[in-house]
Amino acid sequence: MILSKRLLTVKSLVPHGARLLDIGSDHALLPSSLFLDDTIRSAVVTDLKTGPLSRSRTQLEAACFGAPYSLLISDGFEAVDRDNYDFAAICGMGGELIARIINGGGDKARIPMALQPMTAADKLRAYLWDNGFSIEKEVFTTEDARVYVVMLVKPYPSGGNSRASERLSSCECSHSPYSYSDLYLGQCRPDTEEFALYALKTARAAEKRLIGQRVRGEDTSKIEALIEEALRFSVL
């Protein structure tokens, strides 16, 4: 089975022995590959639609050799049973949709997760920091001229607002309060070529938004600070 670099990066964040919940699995390549490596103990594989779920079934039948898995039609966490997983992956969707899925999950979503937004990572970071999650790690990877970010996320023990829970954080790179630049660059900022490219693309996108802000006569101080910071990180 050949996994994309994007899914290989997600896979690297799934802990050994996890009982995985893969929301929006589509083809079930992630859980199948994790079963083949003996990384996970079980998998709950979900999707909104029957088509993707039947693709998942075919893939899992070929990869699992009797390993325990279940397939569910579910909108986000709606139909899943909290007793059946201890780690979730929500990957390959827009950042705002991922935030909505976590928000709709309530207590069922207060678990460690690997999140991979295809767009709007800034919106997802804001949601997580404002709603009692810490971003423990961000890993960046490149494929076909795109840069992907994969986040390892954990709920603060007390829940609630990340600012209030600041002292409870044990993560490597997350701290509060966050700045406007943190929303676009994250707080982890690894010293890698992939992050340097992510920073460069972030700067270029911000430069386009800056033009619009200038035309509208808005305050451009935050976006100018973002561009300066992003360009600094874009050179290794």
Binding site for ligand SAM (CB under 6 A): 7, 23-26, 46-49, 52, 75-76, 91-93, 97, 101
Alpha carbon distance 7, 178 (integer Å): 28
Shortest reach from residue 147's CB to ligand SAM, in Å: 16
Min separation Cβ 55 and ligand SAM, Å: 8
**φ and ψ of 138, to 5 deg:** -125, 130
Q: Residue 24 CB, nearest distance to ligand SAM (Å)? A: 3
Choose between 3 and 126: whose C-beta lies nearer to ligand SAM: 3
Closest CA relative to residue 109, chosen from 88, 79, 137:
88
> 59 with 28: CB under 8 angstroms?
yes
Measured from the CB atom, is 91 or 196 closer to ligand SAM? 91
Residue 33 burial (C-beta neighbours within 10 Å; 0-12, 13-18, 19+): buried
Q: Please identify, using beta-carbon distances, which residue of 75 and 86 lies nearer to ligand SAM.
A: 75
CB 194, min distance to ligand SAM, A: 18
DSSP state of 178: P
Q: Decide whether 99 or 101 has the Cβ nearer to ligand SAM.
A: 101
- The rounded Cα 85 to chain-centroid distance in angstroms is 17
Beta-carbon contacts of 4 under 8 Å, excluding residues fewer than 6 positions away, are 143
In whole angstroms, give the CA distance from residue 221 to residue 117.
27
Beta bridge partners of 94: none
Q: Closest distance between ligand SAM and the C-beta of residue 92, in Å? A: 3
Shortest approach of ligand SAM to residue 187 CB, angstroms? Answer: 24
Tokens 């938004």 label which residue? 209
Longest dimension (CA), the chain: 63
Residue 16 host element (H or E):
none
Q: Which is nearer to ligand SAM, 4 or 213 (CB)?
A: 4
Q: How far is the CB of 183 from ligand SAM (least distance, A)?
A: 23
Q: Which is nearer to ligand SAM, 113 or 223 (CB)?
A: 113
Distances (CA, A) of 216 to 205, 221, 225: 17, 14, 18
Q: Which is nearer to ligand SAM, 24 or 132 (CB)?
A: 24
